[in-house]
Structure 1
Amino acid sequence: MEKTQSLRSAGKFGVRQIAIIGMLAAISIMLGLSGFGFIPLPTAKATIMQIPVIIGAILEGPLVGAMIGLLFGLFSIIQSITTPNILSFAFINPLVSVLPRVLIGVTAYYAYKWTRSEREGVRIGVGAVVGSLTNTFGVLTMIYVLYAAQFATARGISLEAAAQVIYGIALVNGVPEAIIATAITVPIVLAIKKRQKN
């Protein structure tokens, strides 16, 4: 298993890996198009579109996860162009919409791999939490770094308040998203791994 994942890490995709990339990227995109990728909460909407990226990374390695994240990010750009909202100016930039999504796969995989636990569910859960938070904080940090002034204008707040609002959103969205991602990812990955062993 470790040897197989090291080959994937070296960039050698087999037919199965290519199929998994396409399938999980398509699931992520369909979640976004259908609206099922967003779960309404009392204070915000939590996204679950990062979950296919996390699953692909944990099962097939960081490059597979990164490729799924790349397609997820490219979809975000297209969606921002075709159905714009007040923050579309930021999501058209690949540094906001693509880079953090690519990093989901990398951080999720290595968090899973480097977690020292005999319980596979714990390792998967840590990978899911880290991958999900990479998405939330990565996107919002890039918005703050690159577009703090435009964000403040779009939200009708002062520039000084931009950081507080942005990271307030990150906390309000990020924690529920990480919990939901873990609750969905752990049983799915455990079931797939059990099936692979059999």
Structure 2
Amino acid sequence: MGKTAALRTSGRFGVRQIAIIGMLSAISIILGLSGFGFIPLPTAKATIMQIPVIIGAILDGPLVGAMIGLLFGLFSIVQSLTTPNILSFAFINPLVSVLPRVLIGITAYYAYKLTWGRHEGLRIGISAIVGSLTNTFGVLTMIYLLYAAQFAAARGIGLDAAAKVIYGVALVNGIPEAIIAMAICVPVIMAIKKRYKN
């Protein structure tokens, strides 16, 4: 077993892993603070802040991905406290803002590892889609489970319509986000892997 593989399975972080966690977490935070982490669409804004989590998970394993996701989630809490919006009441809860972001790294890594075939681009693409959808559906599912009534009140809709609206947002946002994540992750990760080999 190589040194990198051993670090992935031992639960310990080497210098490179710590550097990657710091660098990719900083990228997520910069994307969020600058507004570049959100791409305007006709009906909503698609986020790309999950992409550093996916990249870290595929390159260096689920623990690295989970740590980047943890920092992404903690940043979401801070952002909800400092620049609140109508859904900040939900994002202050770590079950909404942190847990799904930690799971991005885990689901993306195992989607990559469990995808059969030699086509590296396909494996990365599937992993990026899975990780991105984990973020979208994970966050919105937790909002529905924990805050359906508050969400309905904030949106001015009936409680019976909350699930339809929440999962409508998940589809409208989730599909473009997954496509964007795939389009960015595939060339970036393949370029980094090629550099590793060289």
Shorter-chain TM-score: which interval? over 0.9
SS of residue in 1 equivalent to 2:118? coil
2: CA distance, partners of 1:98 / 1:6: 27
- Superposed CA deviations along residues 59-92 of structure 1, whole A, max 9, x for unmatched, are 0000000000000000000000000000000000
- The runs of 4+ residues in structure 1 deviating greater than 2 Å are 1-7
Contact 1:9 1:62 in 2 (8 A): no
In the alignment, does 2:99 pair up with 1:105? no
SS of residue in 2 equivalent to 1:39? strand
In the alignment, does 2:51 pair up with 1:51? yes
1: CA distance, partners of 2:2 / 2:139: 31
**Which residue in 2 is equivalent to 1:92?**
92
- Superposed CA deviations along residues 24-81 of structure 1, whole A, max 9, x for unmatched, are 0000000000000000011110000000000000000000000000000000000000
Once the 2 structures are TM-superposed, how far is the Cα of residue 7 of structure 1 from its aligned partner? 2.8
Contact 2:7 2:14 in 1 (8 A): no
Contact 1:62 1:106 in 2 (8 A): yes
Two-structure CA RMSD over aligned residues (Å): 1.0
**Which residue in 1 is equivalent to 2:74?**
74
Once the 2 structures are TM-superposed, how far is the Cα of residue 184 of structure 1 from its aligned partner? 0.2
Q: 1:17 to 1:148 in 2, by over 3 A?
A: same
Q: Report the AA paired with residue 100 of structure 1.
A: P
2: CA distance, partners of 1:67 / 1:57: 9
SS of residue in 1 equivalent to 2:39? strand
Q: Report the AA paired with residue 177 of structure 2.
A: E
Once the 2 structures are TM-superposed, how far is the Cα of residue 2 of structure 1 from its aligned partner? 6.6
Once the 2 structures are TM-superposed, how far is the Cα of residue 4 of structure 1 from its aligned partner? 2.6
- How many positions carry a matched residue from both structures? 198
- Superposed CA deviations along residues 91-144 of structure 1, whole A, max 9, x for unmatched, are 000000000000000000000000001100000001100000000000000000
Q: Report the AA paired with residue 148 of structure 2.
A: A
**Which residue in 2 is equivalent to 1:163?**
163
SS of residue in 2 equivalent to 1:46? strand
1: CA distance, partners of 2:108 / 2:2: 16
| Identity among equivalent pairs (%) | 83
SS of residue in 2 equivalent to 1:162? helix
SS of residue in 2 equivalent to 1:107? helix
